[in-house]
Chain A
Amino acid sequence: MSAAKRLVLKDDLTIYHALDQKHMLIDSLAGTPSLELDLSQVTEIDTAGLQLLILVKREAARHGKELAIVAHSPAVRQTLDFCNLATYFGDPVLITAHEQG
């Protein structure tokens, strides 16, 4: 999928950045049929961040677009696992031997 646009989130997915991130995510999604999220630098994710991810995923599905999380940080992976949402997002989760923290 060459048209895929990749968005690298640099800030933590927390309530403090939620407002900015919502605009950024929704705007990014609007401009592409397929959005890839790189969350490998997200060291913290809270409920606000989690529901943002759900929102974007749902929004993408509603418009027939694709959203893929291509890289999980341990925090993100753990939270998605905990909330039993890994299946909902359906992204392959990479567990490397080095990624332990």
Chain B
Amino acid sequence: MDELTSVFIQEGREQLQAMENGLLDLEQDPDNHDNINGIFRAAHTIKGASGVIECHYIENFMHRVENVLDRLRNGEIHVSGDLTGLLLRCCDQLGRLMDVLEAGDPEPSAEVQAAGESLQIELNTYTAHAAPVAGGAIVEVETDAAGDVHSSGGGVVNTDSWHISVRFGLHMLRGGMDPLSFIRFLGSLGEIIALETVPDVMPPAAEMDPESCYLGFEIRLQTRSSKADIERVFDFCRDDCELRILPPNSKLHEYLKLIHDLPEDDMRLGEILVRAGALTQAELDEGLRAQLQVRLPGAEGAAESTPIGEILVDKKVVHKEVVEAAVHKQTQLSEKKAVEARLIRVQADKLDQLIDLVGELVIAGASANLLAQRSGQSELVESTSILSRLVENIRDSALQLRMVQIGETFTRFNRVVRDVSKELGKEIDLIITGADTELDKSVVEKIGDPLMHLVRNCMDHGIEPAAVREARGKSRRGTVELNAYHDSGSIVIEVVDDGGGLPRDKILQKAIDKGMVQPTQTLTDQEIINLIWEPGFSTADQVTNLSGRGVGMDVVRRNIQNLRGSCEVNSTEGEGSKFTIRLPLTLAIIDGFLVGVGKAAYVIPLDMVVECIELKSNTADRDFLNLRGEVLPFVRLRELFEIDGEQPARENIVVVQHAGQKAGIVVDQLMGEFQTVIKPLGTIFRHLRGIGGSTILGSGDVALILDVQSLIHRKTRQEERSMHANSALPRSTQAN
């Protein structure tokens, strides 16, 4: 795929998102005219851009959509639930067409085409000149393209565009140049609002030389480029064409001069300008009359130097406020463009490469640090410590580059909730908090699907129908909440609903039916609820197309675990349920705490370390201790990993905390903080529990990164099991 296409897809999707958000807002607030204009602009931009990359199936489709939006904008049709629904489905179709383009297929599949055609037929019912439909093909008679320019005083003009008037020289074609390609290229500077072809100088057929060029063009171009940029487009043919460029908001008399200077008939040119939207008919008449006055001596009046707007105000054609409002809007628009200009688009893989390099830098820095310390030269140690501080800063800012706000992922769900609640006939609101919480881009990309599952599950299984809710004394409208916040080095995403909660008994029954648990087994409420994460589990009585096929929750959990995250569920029957997803902030580099057992070194993520204490020898046969009145279970790494060697006289406990649970890890040595570049383990180690990855130390040795979460999990499971086995004796056995 060429670069232009990939840029189109990326920007197109952004515009599509803007369009969709606009449509969702429109449903809430049908009279917001700015919003309608915004939607139209987004659609128009997509159409224009698809034309540039010559993707006609998108261009054609967007043309229909734009026609409807145009009528909406002009107030010819009104917002209705059906219309916004139709337009949202058009957004979906556009998304599918972009998928086709992205996949590099020459044209959409028959299925997608059929969907597009049926949408077009629906769209046609909203356009006045409904096109006749014959045999699947749609015949469209082009109506007057400049239809919105009326000859009344208040007609539509686009004074904020450049006006470019060009007449190509006779020898252009023979010189091997194609004037059309210049005009097309002009479109890359901005948006061609209107274009009129002027073939008037072409002689009759007998004298016409087909290898000479007789064409001229009048173009309205909306662009942020300067006059020099526009001129540069025509650099190659500068000597061979007549080029006149009028800046935006040009004065009326400048247009009149243009009309006068050009070889074509004044009236004919005037008409062309009116059609292109440069002038209104009234202005033209006025102007030509004023021009006559100019020719009379002494009558050089205000028209000479007043902009069109002022003439209009003077002549009471428009109200001053209207002009001011328009001016104000233009400033707003340019301010917004300035903000956009501060952003730079960077290829994601370039960023990844940078992060990789920073990772190597961190490792190399650690090695230099170690050597400096061994050498004992205080100056060298000092300079390496400055270096490592800078490396740390670089690392942080490099990682910051990858951070994106989760809001974009969340707002997608507005649409999902709207559609699904309509489909299910339930009334559901979505509440989003913490949309500005930042997390790693690669995490954001992968969290969308699991979240989608959870939100759909909440709506499908969680929220009850309105009647049931009323009977239970709740408000008719159910709510689904999406929350995000930071919590000790990880990001927490919650999906909360105020529906019926998870049905404990039903889950248990189902699990017994499926043979997952024995009927005699006693399970705590939490254990029963956790059964929903098991593969093939579903409690829905009927399979809907939303969820209920029993492939949901275990996939959700696996996806989240692949991101080194965890998920849990809390639920109260009758009040609702809460799914909590916990994810690491970044996947690449972390601050680690280096510990040693025997000869091996291990890294514990520093964010999770609470404190370090000495292990008293009197705990030799127990796996828990009393930490200031709290019971602290711990694991002995030496036993867990079966490390040989003499047990040292003094052992230490690193107290770690994860998801509100504390535990201790018993190690030989505490070696201090260490910047850890996470290197994934090979696929053969994928099922290894307790190890999250590896890293390279300054000395070149490999250290394993402990997966604290699974260690804690393993420990608590073991405790619970031994509790059951020993009939709740307050004593636990040695780790086995």
Interface, chain A (partner B; CB < 8 A): 15, 18-19, 21-22, 26, 46-48, 50-52, 54-55, 58-59, 62, 74, 78-79, 82-88, 92-98, 100-101
Contact = CB atoms under 8 A, between A and B. Distances in A.
A51 B145 contact: no
B180 A79 contact: yes
B234 interface: no
B57 interface: yes
B643 interface: no
B106 interface: yes
A51 B141 CA distance: 22
Given A87-B144, A94-B139, A47 B211 contact: no
Interface in B59-116: 60, 106-107, 113, 116
A78 B56 contact: yes
Contacts of A46: 178, 180-181
B210 A54 contact: no
A50 B180 contact: yes
B588 interface: no
Q: Which 6 A-B pairs have the closest CB atoms?
A: A18-B210, A22-B210, A86-B142, A83-B197, A100-B57, A54-B199
B210 A96 contact: no
A60 to B, nearest CB: 10
Contact of B202 (A54, A78, A85): A54
B261 to A, nearest CB: 22
Given A51-B213, A97-B117, A84 B145 contact: yes
A96 B139 CA distance: 8
Nearest to B178: A46
B138 interface: yes
Given A54-B215, A82-B184, A87-B144, 14 more contacts: A47-B172, A47-B179, A47-B215, A50-B180, A51-B199, A55-B210, A58-B202, A78-B54, A84-B194, A84-B195, A87-B142, A87-B145, A93-B141, A97-B137
Interface string B171-198: 0110000111101100000000011110
A59 B199 CA distance: 13
A27 to B, nearest CB: 11
B145 A101 contact: no
A3 to B, nearest CB: 21
Contact of B195 (A59, A83, A100): A83
A55 B144 CA distance: 21
Contacts of B211: 15, 18-19, 48
A15 B145 contact: no
Most buried by B among A47, A78, A92, A94: A47
Sorting the interface of chain B by its residue count into under 10, 10 to 19, 20 to 34 or 35 or more gives: 35 or more
Contacts of B217: 83
A47 B214 CA distance: 9
B208 interface: yes
B645 interface: no
Nearest to A79: B180
B56 A100 contact: yes
17 contacts: A21-B210, A46-B181, A47-B173, A47-B180, A48-B173, A48-B210, A48-B211, A54-B197, A55-B210, A74-B56, A78-B56, A93-B142, A94-B139, A95-B138, A97-B117, A100-B60, A101-B107
Contacts of B183: 82
Interface of B: 51, 54, 56-57, 60, 106-107, 113, 116-117, 136-145, 168, 172-173, 178-181, 183-184, 194-197, 199, 202, 204-205, 208, 210-211, 213-215, 217
A86 to B, nearest CB: 4
Contacts of A96: 137-138
Nearest to B57: A100
Nearest to B199: A54
A29 B714 CA distance: 89
A18 to B, nearest CB: 4
B516 to A, nearest CB: 51
A55 B139 CA distance: 26
Contacts of A94: 137, 139
Nearest to A16: B211
B197 A84 contact: yes
A87 B142 CA distance: 6
A23 B137 CA distance: 35
Contacts of A21: 210
B511 to A, nearest CB: 51
A100 B56 CA distance: 6
B210 A93 contact: no
B494 to A, nearest CB: 45
A52 B210 contact: yes
Contacts of A85: 197
A22 B173 CA distance: 15
A92 B141 contact: yes
Given A84-B195, A97-B137, A26 B205 contact: yes
B197 A101 contact: no
Contacts of B196: 84
A101 B57 CA distance: 8
B108 to A, nearest CB: 8
Most buried by B among A50, A79, A97: A97
A7 B195 CA distance: 29
Most buried by A among B143, B199, B217: B199
Contact of A97 (B51, B136, B145, B215): B136
A83 B215 CA distance: 11
B217 to A, nearest CB: 8
A48 B202 CA distance: 12
A55 B213 contact: no
A12 to B, nearest CB: 12
Nearest to B276: A84
A15 B210 CA distance: 8
B178 A55 contact: no
A96 B196 CA distance: 26
B725 to A, nearest CB: 69
B269 to A, nearest CB: 15
A14 B682 CA distance: 60
